[in-house]
Structure 1
Amino acid sequence: MAKPLLQYNKLKYNNPKQKSKRPIPVTEIISMAVETLWSNKLRTGLTMLGVIIGIASVIAITSVGQGVQKGTEQQIQALGPDVLSVFSGSARSGNIRQGTGSSSTLTWDDAKAIAEQAPSAQIVSAYLQRNAQVVYEGQNNSTPVFGTDLNYPVVREIQIQNGRYFNQEELDTSSLVAVIGPTIESNLFNRSDPLGKRIRIRGEAYEVIGVTESKGSQGGMDRDEVVFIPLTTMSARLVGNNALSGVSVNAILIKAGEQLDAVQFQVTNLLRLRHNIYPPQEDDFRITNQADIISTFTNIVGLFTVMIVAIAGISLVVGGIGIANIMLVSVVERTREIGIRKAVGATNSAILNQFLTEAIVISTLGGGIGIGSGILIAFGAANIFKFPFVISLLSVIAGLGLSLSVGLVAGVIPARNAAKLDPITALRSD
């Protein structure tokens, strides 16, 4: 107990008459608090643990939530936030409904009718999709093959980095031409120029006429591992004309600009008329709105983040209770020290400030370590799961504020108990 006594001797509290004239400098209070905490490193570390876990959880979860949200928004933006997707309906087998697109209810003629009769629709495209083995000189790649019209690269904002997309004549004549993605180029051609070479799709040779620019990944799918061929070729040679009339398609894409609701209304009514659907019959197609997907996902991520932050808040409360308990134990352990300090001139406010500062230092250090840990966790998660790394300044400021608040609240009662101790009683304690 000699060490604290020497500390207060340095503050010149030997004369009780001076105690109201000379307040303790803040720097000396902080220095003494740090020295006291450092002399009990294990206890201090365990006390900070709850705050560290709570703050790290708040920072990490907030960052991960914002990163996932931003990544998803970027992916949906890449598909076109102003694009409506019309999918064919689901087939039924007895009372079992299969997935969307399992029934051939949409045709290329539907897409052409939408382009002509829906005033708000800007650009309309239709496509067919199947997985197929793409082969070149012994190299084999299983990949999605898209049969598209000429508007598809415009709606999906696909750029050509080498060569060209197929033209109207090749679409009309069902030509055996193909445009490949960068991943297919790398896997099959090993960095050699693919233009003019022939790949085999289900036994037939297709001339490569173009390579698209990279689009990256989306939802675990490599958007560069694709092959595009004319829709007519796809329908006639890979799928077969399985619609009652015309060319069957899996989906119709509609670029709508800012009139998403108007386009959706017009397309819904037009397709119902074309397919002879009247109430109470169900639609044999499904329309999805990218803007609605973004809004729904944002709400889900927001609710999830709030839930996790609330759980982290419970951890902070537990950490605060831990600080309060340790500080109360510290008051009991240092009762005689408090008595000596008061005997040499320490005021109640000096004792109060000393213990309160110790609690705030513990929580602030814990908060700082927690913020650093949370940022590292968020950075690691962003790199592992491939989403944008986002750190909100607001969440860092909130973390520091929370840690300070926890220390202040948790330290008040123990500090007041220490300040109210009677010096004579304190000196008699063992």
Structure 2
Amino acid sequence: MLFNARKTNVSIYYIEIFTMATEALWSNKLRTGLTMLGMIIGISSVIGITSIGQGVQKATEKEIQSLGTNVLQVFAGAAVRGNVSQGLGSTSTLTWEDAKEMALQASSAEVVSAYLQRQGQVVYEEKNISTTIYGTDLSYPEARNTYPQAGRFFNQEELNGIKQVVVLGPTAKRNLFGDNSNVIGQIIRIQGEAYEVIGIMEAKGSQGPIDRDDGVYIPLTSMSARVVGNNALSGISVNNILVKSSNQEQLLAAQFQITNLLRIRHNIYPPQADDFRITNQADIIKTFSSIVALLTVMVVAIAGISLVVGGIGIANIMLVSVVERTREIGIRKAVGAKNSAILTQFLAEAIIISTLGGGIGIGGGILIAFGAATVFKLPFVISVSSIIIASGLSFGVGLLAGVVPARNAARLDPIAALRSE
């Protein structure tokens, strides 16, 4: 019974301390609100930025994975004009024959597809649009993991016969035909040549600023002969070759085999530089994730400065509060208040300010993250760890910022405090 009585007395004591601290803060609402502002900005920034960074990372990973993480891209070399590189694929160093040899000799390659792309004009009646024209072989849908949602892709006979048939991307179809769903069999003009629409590709969405649905697909032979013109001394020149392995473990083996094969075919020997470049989708994901994580850490660190500023603000306001309430403290000590009670009240005020500011900041951070996810169409990701860390930081900052003012208040001499005006 004695233990329970003591426990009850302690509970009442802390409730009274908390009540007095709350009343003191409420009597100075404007000052309390301004003091909390630094904590609110800091916590909401940390949570919002962390969430947005994770959302961007997940969205990009999803887009890259939709193309397949077990895919290599072999780019043609870069042309140099006036000491300025024109970018990968700007020179004719890869051919369709290279791709065919890869399919035959690279045992780790499950699917090999070559394609040639150019920007060009596509016309239907009065509609004239600029879009990307892809000249591909038959393996392209499997290599890119994208298939027709209506109609079909072109076949071997059409590829061999340089037939003028076309498969439209969803965006190109919408730009040319609007909401008309009956487009199979329609005739469009590509660079002035008539092509029959035989299919519509499935939607793949955007990859950053690039709309992957804005394009048209024609046989590689037709692309080379009718759109680009034969642009290699032998064979058909291509910009890119896609190599798909059965799994990620086979990618390194495929990359090694393809590198050696192309060096032999292109007569490249050390110390000569390769006239091609191979990129790995899995490496792209890892690199991008590392960059986003680094940027997120950097921005969160900057946002953390707001927490430091908020803590300094709490400490300054509490120090001012001690000076303003010197006479109040003197009266309380004169009627028997212990130093520990004064110390606890001022600590409680600092902790209430920081904890309440942290709570509002957490809510603000979640709203910022939700707003960014809605506007930019990103996954809405809230990290539980960031909320826990933010909560701990807000409590810790309040505790640390309140120690010195609370100690100063507790050490005031009651006689000197009562004489204070």
TM-score (norm 1): 0.92
- The partner residue of 1:33 within 7, 21, 29 is 21
**2:91 alignment partner in structure 1:** 103
Partner amino acid, structure 1, of 2:313: G
1:215 maps onto 2:174 in alignment: no
Q: Name the residue aligned to 1:13.
A: none
The answer for the alignment partner of 1:198 in structure 2 is 187
| Selected match of 2:289 from 285, 298, 312 | 298
Counterpart code for 1:216: G
The answer to which of 159-168 and 381-390 deviates more is 381-390
Deviations 1:169-213 (A, max 9, x none): 111111111111112222222222101111111111111111111
Deviation per CA, 1:131-182: give whole Å up to 9, x if none.
1111111112211011111111111111221111111111111111111111
Structure 2: how far apart are the matches of 1:106 and 1:47? 65
- Superposed CA deviations along residues 343-382 of structure 1, whole A, max 9, x for unmatched, are 2332222111111110001001111121122222222223
Range 94-103 or range 106-115, more displaced: 94-103
> What amino acid maps onto 2:287 in structure 1?
T
Report the counterpart of residue 127 of structure 1 in structure 2. 115
Distance 1:404 1:199 in 2: 66
Q: Distance in 2 between matches of 1:21 and 1:125?
A: 78
Which secondary structure does the structure 2 equivalent of 1:130 belong to? strand
Could you say which residue in structure 2 is the equivalent of 1:162? 150
Change (3 A) 1:428 1:186: same
Equivalent residues in 2 for 1:84-99, closer than 5 Å: 84-93=72-81, 95-99=83-87
Distance between the aligned counterparts of 2:235 and 2:151, measured in 1? Answer: 31
Q: Distance in 2 between matches of 1:20 and 1:387?
A: 51
SS at structure 1 position matched to 2:115: strand
Q: Structure 1's 264 and 21: CA in aligned 2 closer, same or farther, altered over 3 A?
A: closer
Among 23, 35, 53, which residue is 2:41 paired with? 53
AA paired with 2:221? T
Query: How does 1:279-318 map onto structure 2 within 5 Å?
Result: 279-318=270-309
Matches within 5 A, 1:244-283: 244-256=233-245, 257-258=247-248, 259-283=250-274
Which residue, out of 401, 423, 426, partners 2:414?
A: 423
Secondary structure at 2:269's aligned position in 1?
A: coil
Distance (Å, rounded) in 2 between the aligned partners of 1:93 and 1:381: 41
Structure 1 counterpart of 2:34, one-letter code: L
> How far did 1:271 drift?
0.1
Equivalent residue of 1:242, what SS?
Answer: coil
- Render the CA deviation track for 1:16-53: whole Å, top value 9, x for unaligned: xxx99944433332222222111111111111111111
Distance 1:210 1:82 in 2: 27
Pairwise CA distance, 1:338: 1.1
- In the aligned structure 1, how far is the partner of 2:85 from the partner of 2:204? 34
CA distance in 2, matches of 1:160, 1:170: 16
Give the distance between the partners of 1:415 and 1:20, measured in 2 at CA. 25
1:73 maps to: 61
| CA distance, structure 2, for counterparts of residue 285 and residue 204 of structure 1 | 32
- CA shift at 1:98, angstroms? 2.6
Deviation at 1:412, TM superposition (A): 1.0
- CA distances 1:205-258 after superposition (whole Å, capped 9, x unpaired): 111111111111111121111111111111111011111111111100000222
DSSP 3-state at the match of 1:421? coil
1:136 counterpart letter in structure 2: Y
AA in 2 matched with 1:39 = S
Matched, 1:399 2:387: no
Q: How many residues align?
A: 412
Classify the secondary structure of the residue corresponding to 2:112.
strand
Which residue of 2 is the match for residue 229 of structure 1? 218
**What corresponds to 2:321 in structure 1?**
330
Residue number in structure 1 paired with 2:3: none
2 CA distance for matches of 1:345 and 1:363? 29
CA 1:279–1:381: 2 relative to 1, 3 Å: same
Q: 1:44 aligns with which of 14, 25, 32?
A: 32
User: d(CA) in 1 for partners of 2:208 and 2:364?
Assistant: 28
Taking the aligned partners of 2:112 and 2:306, their CA distance within structure 1 comes to 53
Tell me the distance in 1 between the aligned counterparts of 2:240 and 2:256. 17
| Structure 1 letter corresponding to 2:343 | L
Gaps of at least 5 residues in structure 2 are 1-5
SS in structure 1 opposite 2:310? helix
Match of 2:126 in 1: 138
State the 1:319 CA deviation: 1.0
